[in-house]
Structure 1
Amino acid sequence: MPTRRTVMKAGGAVLLPAAAYGTSALAAAWPNERGARPVRAEVPEPFSVRMPLPATLKPVARSSTTDYYVMTARKANAQILRGATTEIYGYDGQFPGPTIRARAGRRVVLAQTNQLDMDTAVHLHGGHTPPASDGFPLDVIAPGKTRIYEYPNRQQATTLWYHDHAHHMEAEHVYRGLHGFYLIEDPAEAELGLPSGEFDVPIMLRDARFADDGSLHFVAEDFQNRTTILTNGRPQPYFPVAARRYRFRLLNGSNLRSFVLRLGAGEEMAQIGTDGGLLGAPATTREIRISPGERVEVVVDFTGREGSQVILADDHAGPVLRFDVGAPAYDASRVPAVLRPLPPLGEPDVVRQMSLGIDPQDFTFKINGKVFDPHRVDTTIRRGDTEVWEVTNGDTFTIPHNFHMHLVQFRVLSRNGRPPVPAEGGWKDTVPLQPGETVRLQATFTGPAGRYVYHCHLIDHSSHAMMATMEIVD
């Protein structure tokens, strides 16, 4: 049962050179002699493990219009901690799951098989998908069964991700590893000359709590005890880079934790994208704020830094990744002054109010005063309409939320009556809401008719019914 103690807060971590971090307080000496005490799983020394890159899934077949993939959700053992393996739920047994690289305008058909002993469902987060392929919470894959998902990819290049969305189970399933990147590419983005190929790196950040035997420990709303930060599935890894520009696609795959990320001693980064793709123009920033489900794309220039170590750290959790800068490498990439012009927004057809909050009487999570009922339609929307949604976090004490809308991307018009900061100036599908905050969002509902959900993407909250259904009608 959720309680008032569920809090997300950022502390003020001091950024120090890499050598100053020393040995993790969670790491301990290992007994080597015969008959010593039983070995316990522990977090490895900081920066002793290389950050892995998720494998790219290859199509099993191609036609003139479509790429065909197969994938299986199953249990597997992952090497995360020192001294033990950890059982995870993984797409193709991987943690994170394999990356799908799609092309705008080219369809993807995914045959997803469930080899777990519980129902699953797959949601392409940020995807413009038909309702039968969106992962509605009741559209589950039973154990031993296969479901076909069709993704038309009729949207611009962007960083999406796929994850479980089974009713009441999505929080635990995502926590145990059912998540992976889905990247859409298009010719217009390729012509910009941004870092590409091996210099275009997806990075998933998330937190976890481990038992002494190395198993993932899941208790809903257990934010304060999920103290191990995983970067592409490993705690505090290092990653070798050349002394040149890199594009990093950052995804917050946590259930509840937000990150405030800084590079080195607060060095500048060029933010180029957000949930729905490229910004109109690069935004220079010294910090990256990213709540669960959000994506942020940045270009970091390591030119002239050869031989150095540069740490990416969170204000509250401390270091999450170390970049080890090697020799210079040929670099023809650039960050143009104009990335992708954003079209002007038209006048809305409808304005709606949405309130997210916890009922103080029974501590249930609600949207507009209602818990989720998958058989009830909460909002009916005429296809093609443009709507403004005024979304408020009605919890004025300590509970943050964020808001994710399926089917469409939206633009942030204002936050607490003020224009959005540059980082929120592009297309979005997920926005954070601190207690008492209100954001105004505008979206045009041009997708297929049918039922979709919108919800808080602090996913432990949506698993406890902070979700609602919208129906797009002709």
Structure 2
Amino acid sequence: MPLPPVLRPESTKGDTDRYVVTARKARVEILPGTRTEVLTYAGAFPGPTLRARVGRKVIVRHTNDLDMGTSVHVHGGRMPAASDGFPTDTLAPGRSRDYTYPNQQRAATLWYHDHAHHMEAEHVFRGLAGCYLIEDPAEAGLRLPSGTHDIPIMLRDARFDDRARLVFEPNDFQERTTILANGKPWPYFPVAARRYRLRFVNASNLRTFALRLGRNTEVAQIASDCGLLTAPAAVRSWRLTPGERVEVVVDFSRFKVGSQVFLEDEDAGPVMRFDVSRGGKDTSRVPDRLSTIPALPAATAKRKFVLSFDRATGRFLINGRQFDPKRVDTRIKRGTTEVWTVTNDRSGFAVPHNFHPHLVQFRVLDRNGRPPAPGEAGLKDTIGVAPGETVRLQATFGPYTGRYVYHCQMIDHSSTGMMAQMKIVD
């Protein structure tokens, strides 16, 4: 399994790092011995990893060298509206634009991807996605695995024809049977017999992964979408709907050198293999306490959102409406805290959804009236909602004003209408 290249800044001055990225087509080897045309950031599939620091500004000059508009969104980022990647605020072919990312938020595993409305599903499917890691030097005192033992793993599925070409058909989940880890099908990754921090990102359009290691090996989940949990959670499996992230620490010293340990999905079977190829010195640890997550202020408003499917039109909807960029669906005063109740209406068509509001990070209050599991008890930005389920979320809206969207991150759904607009105002 390859590791995506780490993007290097073009310049570093004061409190700002500047990067340059071009979206362009490339032909890469995905299936062994063949070449596949993909859409890339900087020629890489998946895109290069951008490593940022808490409190240090990043400016990325994006150039669009494709033949249609793009809009770059850092998923999980708290960004000014002009840099959030609004779906209709597209960058035309041949043009460039600066996106500014303040990184005034907790360290976390984020990711960036295209968000151009009606095309976002196909663009991401064809490769426009990469990791965006916000790091905090203060975390060094925790002595979690770091450096070459801190591994981002972007998972997704794909469909190929007999000429190794990617085949995109909307909502074609059942045919996307090739599982990719960092752009390679069912790869292996050599590890030492020591602890590793594995950062999993689900970059699939529709597939939910339910992962386990070996014969249900216990691992320590240390983080969810928006950074460290308050304490590690001992888990034998972990679930990621599209867009979600989970970080786990795996101690490979429990396996003999020479062992092959498989990462498996409950539906798709083997995803990748870890080869314990050598011994290794290890001074890392998983402490009993990881972080402090402040309590949210009391909520001043409550709202309800219903995710549904209209059989007559073939559209996925929020509160019975299809996305219209000219319509503000929800107006919110900056700095206020709200509770949102999100329900997946199974009466029309029982399919899974999830829910991702831009700009904010939220706490999960309950799922079907029950407290969240330990792995969902931290700060999140994406939440799965199975048919008939209801989840309640609490978030404080800010610090920026402007227009943002909330949508199903199963982006084949959002690209056909399961998205709405909120406006944050003073």
> 2: CA distance between counterparts of 1:304 and 1:225?
37
Q: Which residue of the partner structure matches residue 303 of structure 2?
A: 352
**By how many angstroms is 1:328 displaced?**
1.7
> 2: CA distance between counterparts of 1:116 and 1:209?
22
**By how many angstroms is 1:360 displaced?**
3.1
- Residue type of the alignment partner of 2:174: Q
Q: Which has the higher strand share?
A: 2
> 1: CA distance between counterparts of 2:122 and 2:77?
22
**By how many angstroms is 1:326 displaced?**
1.9
Look up the SS of the partner of 1:191 in the other structure.
Answer: helix
**By how many angstroms is 1:446 displaced?**
2.4
> 2: CA distance between counterparts of 1:71 and 1:363?
36
Equivalent of 1:222, from 172, 178, 187? 172
Task: Please say if 1:427 is aligned against 2:349.
Answer: no
C-alpha deviations, 1:73-127, integer Å up to 9, x for none? 0000110113320000000111000000000000000000000011111000000
What is the correspondence of 1:4-403 to structure 2 with a 5 Å cutoff? Answer: 51-305=1-255, 306-396=257-347, 397-403=349-355
**By how many angstroms is 1:416 displaced?**
0.3
Contact 2:260 2:273 in 1 (8 A): yes
Q: Which residue of the partner structure matches residue 405 of structure 2?
A: 453
Equivalent of 2:366, from 414, 421, 434? 414
Q: Which residue of the partner structure matches residue 415 of structure 2?
A: 463
CA RMSD of aligned residues (A): 0.8
> 2: CA distance between counterparts of 1:95 and 1:134?
22
- Residue type of the alignment partner of 2:250: V
Q: Which residue of the partner structure matches residue 3 of structure 1?
A: none
Contact 2:296 2:395 in 1 (8 A): no
Look up the SS of the partner of 2:142 in the other structure.
Answer: coil
Contact 2:296 2:396 in 1 (8 A): no
- Residue type of the alignment partner of 2:209: F
> 1: CA distance between counterparts of 2:296 and 2:325?
32
> 2: CA distance between counterparts of 1:184 and 1:191?
17
C-alpha deviations, 1:330-362, integer Å up to 9, x for none? 111110000002212331011100111102332
- Residue type of the alignment partner of 1:380: R
**By how many angstroms is 1:187 displaced?**
2.3
**By how many angstroms is 1:363 displaced?**
2.5
> 2: CA distance between counterparts of 1:298 and 1:123?
25
> 1: CA distance between counterparts of 2:107 and 2:26?
32
> 1: CA distance between counterparts of 2:62 and 2:307?
33
Look up the SS of the partner of 2:294 in the other structure.
Answer: coil
Look up the SS of the partner of 1:303 in the other structure.
Answer: helix
C-alpha deviations, 1:130-181, integer Å up to 9, x for none? 0000000111110000011000000010000000000110000000000000
> 2: CA distance between counterparts of 1:291 and 1:137?
21
**By how many angstroms is 1:300 displaced?**
0.1
- Residue type of the alignment partner of 2:355: F
> 1: CA distance between counterparts of 2:69 and 2:179?
28
Unaligned runs of 5+ in 2: none
Look up the SS of the partner of 1:188 in the other structure.
Answer: helix
**By how many angstroms is 1:304 displaced?**
4.1
- Residue type of the alignment partner of 2:412: D
- Number of residues of Structure 1 aligned to a counterpart in Structure 2: 424
- Residue type of the alignment partner of 2:312: Q
TM-score (norm 1): 0.89
Task: Give the number of the structure whose alpha-carbon radius of gyration is greater.
Answer: 1
> 2: CA distance between counterparts of 1:394 and 1:361?
16
Q: Which residue of the partner structure matches residue 18 of structure 1?
A: none
- Residue type of the alignment partner of 2:375: A
